[in-house]
Structure 1
Amino acid sequence: MPSNATPATEHTGFNGGRLAATIIVVRDGDEGLEVWVQERVPTMRNYPGHVVFPGGGVDPRDFPPRTWDSGELWSGASTISMARLMGVTRYKAHALVFAAARELFEEAGALLVRDLGGDVLADARAYHTDRLALESHRISFTDFLEKERLKLDADLLAPWARWAGVDRGQWFDTFFFVATLPPGQALDATTFEAADANWFSPQLLLDGWRAGLVRLALPTWAQLVRLCDYARVRDVMNSASLSDLRLVIGEPVDDPRYHEYFTTIPIERI
């Protein structure tokens, strides 16, 4: 940690930054791998007009109570195993995974959960009212799961990357997860944060960025570049366990992996 960095607390990340979670949902399209992205409305405080994956800051209510039994609302990979992969405490791992699943439900309408019978939920449309209540912060994701007797399924998403940076004077410590859509569920663009959303190939999005048609922040650009290495969903998910979760900080202009981002000046067509 740099000498001038603020130590992380049990609720914050690198340099005292706000913890955040982003979820990359992939599918096999007719012509290869596709990813779900949304274009943020121009009135958003952070990254207006940018193309992003669903995600956002960790809600304090995403953290479990100190006396929690992780089995009550959690299934699949344990919080301990997720924490080891992510390099954080199981307390933070719980919050970050909850935040990723919550943001996906709020912004795109999919639920990575199992019902009382242990089956992966095949249709999330019945919970639209709860989705609106979550989006307006009237209820927490914990409240929702408890009320509907559902369990988050940690096997449906996998840690993928970690980036920390400053936007508008605030530090964020963002964990990226990769996931597939449960059979029977569909994503939509009915969120106030997005002007549009859809499935695209990672290469098409990068070509759009080069042509000045797509705005991308560096962390999003880096994940799209990585996804271009994979032809199918199974390749992405198989590689997730090998993900490098070492923190990338700020704008690594000297790292050759990001050379194109810092040296390309797209024509501004937006």
Structure 2
Amino acid sequence: MSSPSAPPVVPRPAATVVLLRDDPAGGGTQVFLQRRVRGMAFAGGMTVFPGGGVSAGDVGDPACWCGPGPERFGDRLGLPPDAAASLVTAAVRETFEECGVLLASRPGAAPDPAADAGPWRDELVGRRTTLPALLAAHDLELRADLLLPWARWITPPDNPRRYDTAFLVARVPEGQVADDATTEAVEARWWSPAEALAGREAGELSLMAPTLHTLQELTRYPSPAAVLAAAATRAITPITPHMRREGRVATITLPGDPDWRIEETT
């Protein structure tokens, strides 16, 4: 933990995508979750949505976008357009890298899976290209119209590793398959929000506060369509949890919500 006298670490911008699909068993919503490798520096062992930090190559190019521009995302998230453009670009890149879902398509076409998308993914993961360069090379548009802002979470000031994370929701495109082919996770699959919450209660899943709160919110909606409809008009205020430590127990609460609290043993 940082010294009490040290200034807070500046949060790194990051993006998370809550991928949605209709439950194939009939009715309801499923979300794609990954259990991260336990030894990772951030959120090791935690079950999370796909996502990660903005990289230097995540420079949004609205000329290659289909759908709302950076100004629209910035207005919703309370960010300048250039910062919002980088977050949306990072969201699409991280989703492709971590689970193989590519929220992009050729102009006028549906975001179908490309036969050669495997090598494209390898190029991104290996940092041999950037998402904007990949899209330009293959005449693809970033499908900003498939993404909707949901929330913005900022890590508490006393944490030595901080993120300012935009949460976005998107329905997985028809025909595309989210997979577990990433070195960052030991398990990845679709869960209903209620199933994931039950897994936490049973001690089978470890969830950070933003993931837990998001899953709790999603239980209110009967379908992906209902989630997307809610996201379209949702008011977004940045959330910075409060954390209080007593020995090995950390109590996390949310500003403006006195009834929400969790305790974690570290």
TM-score interval, smaller chain? 0.7 to 0.9
Please give the per-residue CA displacement for 1:148-200, whole angstroms capped at 9, x wherever unaligned: 11010111010000001059612210000000011111111100001010000
The residue number in structure 1 matching 2:132 is 142
Q: Is the 8 A contact 1:112 1:156 kept in 2?
A: yes
Secondary structure of the corresponding residue to residue 233 of structure 2: coil
Q: Is the 8 A contact 1:109 1:124 kept in 2?
A: no
Structure 1 gap ranges (5+): 7-14
Alignment equivalent of 1:189, drawn from 180, 187, 207: 180
State how many pairs are aligned.
Answer: 249
1:19-30 to structure 2, matched below 5 A, reads 19-29=13-23, 30=25
- Structure with the bigger percentage of helix: 1
Give the drift of 1:261: 4.2
Q: Is the 8 A contact 1:110 1:124 kept in 2?
A: no
For the pair 1:262 / 2:258, whether they are aligned, the reply is no
TM-score between both structures, scaled by the size of structure 1: 0.86
Secondary structure of the corresponding residue to residue 185 of structure 1: coil
The residue number in structure 1 matching 2:56 is 60
Distance 2:202 2:258 in 1: 18
Give the drift of 1:250: 3.1
The residue number in structure 2 matching 1:9 is none
Secondary structure of the corresponding residue to residue 262 of structure 1: strand
Distance 2:160 2:56 in 1: 21
The residue number in structure 2 matching 1:221 is 212
1:104-123 to structure 2, matched below 5 A, reads 104-116=95-107, 118-123=108-113
Alignment equivalent of 2:12, drawn from 18, 25, 33: 18
Root-mean-square deviation (Å): 2.2
For the pair 1:82 / 2:73, whether they are aligned, the reply is yes
Distance 2:239 2:111 in 1: 34
Alignment equivalent of 1:212, drawn from 184, 192, 203: 203
Distance 1:133 1:144 in 2: 9
Distance 2:188 2:151 in 1: 22
The residue number in structure 2 matching 1:33 is 29
Distance 1:190 1:83 in 2: 32
Give the drift of 1:239: 0.1
The residue number in structure 2 matching 1:10 is none
Secondary structure of the corresponding residue to residue 182 of structure 1: coil
Distance 1:241 1:188 in 2: 27
Alignment equivalent of 1:171, drawn from 132, 150, 162: 162
Give the drift of 1:78: 1.7
Distance 2:105 2:153 in 1: 30
Give the drift of 1:244: 3.0
Give the drift of 1:227: 0.4
Distance 2:257 2:34 in 1: 25
Segment drifting more, 126-135 vs 159-168 = 159-168
Give the drift of 1:243: 2.3
> In structure 2, what residue type is equivalent to 1:79?
P
TM-score between both structures, scaled by the size of structure 2: 0.87
For the pair 1:100 / 2:100, whether they are aligned, the reply is no
